[in-house]
């Protein structure tokens, strides 16, 4: 996405004559917000959905956003928390288990590295062909070799 906005807000508005019990019959309106603050006069009832994918895949926010480059979040050996990374959502809807998930992931990753040596057996680990919510290399194979052997 190369448009000049920070956030995309999608306003879901019920179509005339359709009740809220059938939410799939809705009209979607895209609002482009070019500043950190914007005043929107939108009559209720409305639902707001933020397009976090648009923020995280915008080249203005991240150099080469389609590539998995974990080093972009490390400066001088220290992790830098970037507000544009929205893995656990934002604001009032922020995931309450975020810190627990981070700690559990660290324990899991530490145990894996402690117990296994990870070797690439085939494929190119740098090529990412799809643009889905999860960036995953295609055609790569790894082998977990026990360190106790």
Residues annotated within a binding site: 95
Distance CA 50, CA 6 (A): 11
Query: Which positions ≥6 away from 64 have C-beta within 8 Å?
Result: none
Question: DSSP H helical segments within the chain, as ranges?
Answer: 52-56, 98-115
Annotated binding-site ranges for heme: 95
Query: Which positions ≥6 away from 133 have C-beta within 8 Å?
Result: 53
Short-list 82, 62, 57, CA closest to 135? 57
Query: Which positions ≥6 away from 116 have C-beta within 8 Å?
Result: 144, 145, 146, 147
Q: Which residue is associated with the tokens 């914007």?
A: 38
Short-list 24, 48, 57, 28, CA closest to 133? 57
């Amino acid at each position: 996405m190369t448009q000049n906005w920070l956030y995309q807000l999608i306003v879901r508005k019920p179509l005339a004559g359709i009740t809220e019990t059938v939410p799939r019959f809705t009209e979607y309106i895209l609002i482009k917000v070019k500043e950190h603050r914007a005043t929107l006069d939108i009559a209720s009832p409305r639902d707001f959905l933020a397009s976090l994918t648009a923020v995280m895949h915008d080249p203005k926010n991240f150099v080469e956003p389609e590539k998995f480059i974990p080093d972009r979040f490390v400066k001088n050996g220290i992790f830098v928390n970037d507000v544009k990374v929205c893995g656990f959502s934002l604001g009032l809807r922020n995931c309450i288990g975020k810190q627990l998930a981070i700690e559990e992931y660290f324990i899991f990753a530490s145990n894996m590295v402690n117990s296994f040596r990870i070797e690439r057996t085939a494929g190119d680990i740098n090529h990412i062909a799809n643009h889905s919510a999860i960036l995953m290399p295609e055609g790569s194979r790894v082998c977990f070799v026990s360190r106790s052997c």
